[in-house]
Structure 1
Amino acid sequence: MTFRALVVSKTETGQQAGITDFDEANLMEGDVTVAVSHSSVNYKDGLAVTGKGPIIRKFPLIPGIDFAGTVTASTHPRWKAGDKVVLNGWGVGEQHHGGFAEVARVPGDWLVPVPEGWTPAETMAVGVAGYTAMLCVMALEEQGVKPGDGDILVTGAAGGVGTTAIAILSKLGFRVIGSTGRSSEEGFLKALGAAGIVDRNEFNTVVKPLAKARWAGAVDSVGSTTLANVLSQINPEGAVAACGLAQGMDLPTSVAPFILRGVRLIGINSVTTPMPRRLAAWSRIARDLDRTRLAALTAHVKLDDVPRIAEEIVAGKVRGRVVVDIR
């Protein structure tokens, strides 16, 4: 059996991506086979498809770090044919064939059920970005950050993590300020629940050990100088959940925010999150993410559109979430 897939191959000058007919016999090991109905384009997918980041570690490979669909065959005790499932992370789309295909085969231990009352398409409107945003929100809550403590900053506010974080935090009663380089998105971000926006260039300046305290907490998907400046502006005993590196992997900060204000920096690893916390995150998503706002921040494309969207997301031209309607 063959099926349509986006495959990235190694070339003498780098890599190339194209839609092809892929033989199911060439899928990797796994005890569950899924008819994929939807995937999504995340920033990491953009890097993988364009080759602008060292994401793919085996060639040729089907990228796509998440997917949702229906189990067609399983020898795993938790899953049977007909079950609706979601996958986020676990190296899928990096070193294991991923979600930009009509069929996927993976270990059943990597899968979670589609939340009751939700559709596979809605779970991919959430996708890795939204699931990561919820992990960030949970981390801030666990550090004692409460709505009455002050404003929460969300960097990369127009992106997938940022838009979903704004929607979740605002529903939970937090006053959220979005940092973005796209002032034209102010109305869109306010419709999702943001109280206002700030120009991202405010966080792209020389980093002071400590700056004026402005934020009770923050969700950061940018890293580098932006994260360093955010840390210097966090209120005493505040916290930052860091989950991305759109600006870079470096962190030009000092110990001052940590030892003089008690600021806490919490790293979010969404790829290999243990299953109990993964299930807790999806339970919270089903409860605390307004599906009307989720629909408002989501666009739908076809599998053939993924290479173009990959270029756009890396260039910072995509807002919100992009669902890939595979079938």
Structure 2
Amino acid sequence: MFKALLLTKTEEGSVQSSVTELDESQLPEGDVLVQVAHSTLNYKDGLAITGKAPVVRRYPMVPGIDFAGTVLESSDARYKKGDAVILNGWGVGESHWGGLAQKARVKADWLVPLPAGMTPSQAMSIGTAGYTAMLCVMALQDNGMTPDRGPVLVTGGNGGVGSIAIALLSRLGFEVHASTGRLNEAEHLKALGAKELVDRSTLNAAGKPLQKERWAAAVDSVGSHTLANVCASIQYGGVVAACGLAQGMDFPATVAPFILRGVTLAGVDSVNAPYAKRVKAWDRLVRELPQEVLASNTETIGLAAAAQTAARLLEGRVRGRVVVDVNA
């Protein structure tokens, strides 16, 4: 038996969550059985647990789109008992039972090795949000972005992706500007590496198709009007890495920034990214993200607090990353 946060759906359509005891035989099929040490709460987890969006594809469901732990059993030659592993994405926590449990059974293809020198807790202080932030940084660099090109905007600066993106970019020598609706967190964002703060209210409403060229590049986890205004404000030949939809899935923009300023909009997917790219991202994270950044940017909770914290997350009352110690 093991503990898990289980989501069920009532006949009326409401989602209910509870920490319950499950039997190992109830786990879905997979090549590898993992003893989960830590998981996290990401924006998508918040939507799943609260039922605010149809993230979950079938019920009952154990949410949690990522986890870190140790292999208990494996029928795949790539992993053996005792190996430390990480999982991000692949529909886990949506269509396949996820990481907010003490055990998980998954496909070997979905796992990557935990980098040497990184603990499961540290890995989940980074989590899918931080891993996505690194993919965004890689997308900017792959498209020729260097610090001498000019400042980089990070939207959703207080969120999981935004906070890690700020830390990564600043340590690579970029001048980072952070957009946030919580300007009272200025001290924290500047400690992460932000040089200037931008009030998100200046970006989250309809704007002109082309605006003053302010930033050489951007990392956006917000979408909707914010992404449209960011693209309209990028310098000639700049790049925007888009990875989220916290404001909305719509993109009310024109082609003007792309055909008149040569702006590149680079989509960043963390769910189905190929193995080599995942390993590269995690190897860079262990080398480029100082542990003191993780410590100052992380809140740790137990399974019992996950549902309440998920609600706070969607209300914008969570700063940085939330690690879930599933054994606490």
TM-score band, normalised by shorter chain: over 0.9
Aligned 8 A contact 1:222 1:248 in 2 = yes
1:223 paired residue number: 223
Aligned 8 A contact 1:63 1:93 in 2 = yes
Task: Provide the secondary structure at the position in 2 that maps to 1:225.
Answer: helix
Alignment of 1:44-193 (within 5 A): 44-193=44-193
Hey, what's the Cα distance between the residues in 2 that align with 1:250 and 1:118? 37
Alignment of 1:185-224 (within 5 A): 185-224=185-224
Q: Which runs of 4+ in 1 moved over 2 A?
A: none
CA-CA distance at 1:137 after TM superposition: 0.3
Matched to 1:43, the amino acid is Y
CA-CA distance at 1:53 after TM superposition: 1.0
1:265 paired residue number: 265
Hey, what's the Cα distance between the residues in 1 that align with 2:223 and 2:11? 32
Matched to 1:300, the amino acid is T
Hey, what's the Cα distance between the residues in 1 that align with 2:170 and 2:311? 30
Matched to 2:161, the amino acid is V
| Structure 1 residues 62-108: Cα deviation after superposition (integer angstroms, max 9, x where no partner) | 00000001111111111111111100001000000000000000011
Hey, what's the Cα distance between the residues in 2 that align with 1:25 and 1:125? 30
CA-CA distance at 1:289 after TM superposition: 1.2
Hey, what's the Cα distance between the residues in 1 that align with 2:190 and 2:204? 23
| Structure 1 residues 112-144: Cα deviation after superposition (integer angstroms, max 9, x where no partner) | 111111100000000000000000000000111
CA-CA distance at 1:206 after TM superposition: 2.3
Hey, what's the Cα distance between the residues in 1 that align with 2:53 and 2:243? 16
The answer to whether residue 15 in structure 2 is matched with residue 29 in structure 1 is no
Aligned 8 A contact 1:218 1:240 in 2 = yes
Hey, what's the Cα distance between the residues in 1 that align with 2:312 and 2:46? 8
Task: Provide the secondary structure at the position in 2 that maps to 1:55.
Answer: coil
Hey, what's the Cα distance between the residues in 2 that align with 1:94 and 1:204? 29
Hey, what's the Cα distance between the residues in 2 that align with 1:316 and 1:307? 15
CA-CA distance at 1:160 after TM superposition: 0.2
Aligned 8 A contact 1:7 1:18 in 2 = yes
**Aligned pairs, number:** 326
TM-score by length of 1: 0.99
CA-CA distance at 1:292 after TM superposition: 1.2
Question: Where does the alignment leave 5 or more consecutive residues of structure 2 unmatched?
Answer: none
CA-CA distance at 1:15 after TM superposition: 1.4
2:314 paired residue number: 314
CA-CA distance at 1:291 after TM superposition: 1.7
The answer to whether residue 280 in structure 2 is matched with residue 276 in structure 1 is no
1:19 paired residue number: 19
CA-CA distance at 1:109 after TM superposition: 1.1
Aligned 8 A contact 1:168 1:290 in 2 = no
**Aligned sequence identity (%):** 57
| Structure 1 residues 187-206: Cα deviation after superposition (integer angstroms, max 9, x where no partner) | 00000111121100010232
| Structure 1 residues 254-278: Cα deviation after superposition (integer angstroms, max 9, x where no partner) | 0000000000001111001010111
Hey, what's the Cα distance between the residues in 2 that align with 1:117 and 1:287? 9
**RMSD in angstroms over aligned alpha carbons?**
0.7
Hey, what's the Cα distance between the residues in 1 that align with 2:158 and 2:204? 17
CA-CA distance at 1:222 after TM superposition: 0.3
Aligned 8 A contact 1:71 1:84 in 2 = yes
Task: Provide the secondary structure at the position in 1 that maps to 2:174.
Answer: coil
The answer to whether residue 291 in structure 2 is matched with residue 288 in structure 1 is no
Question: Where does the alignment leave 5 or more consecutive residues of structure 1 unmatched?
Answer: none
The answer to whether residue 6 in structure 2 is matched with residue 7 in structure 1 is yes
Aligned 8 A contact 1:207 1:252 in 2 = no
TM-score by length of 2: 0.98
Task: Provide the secondary structure at the position in 1 that maps to 2:194.
Answer: coil
Hey, what's the Cα distance between the residues in 2 that align with 1:104 and 1:267? 30
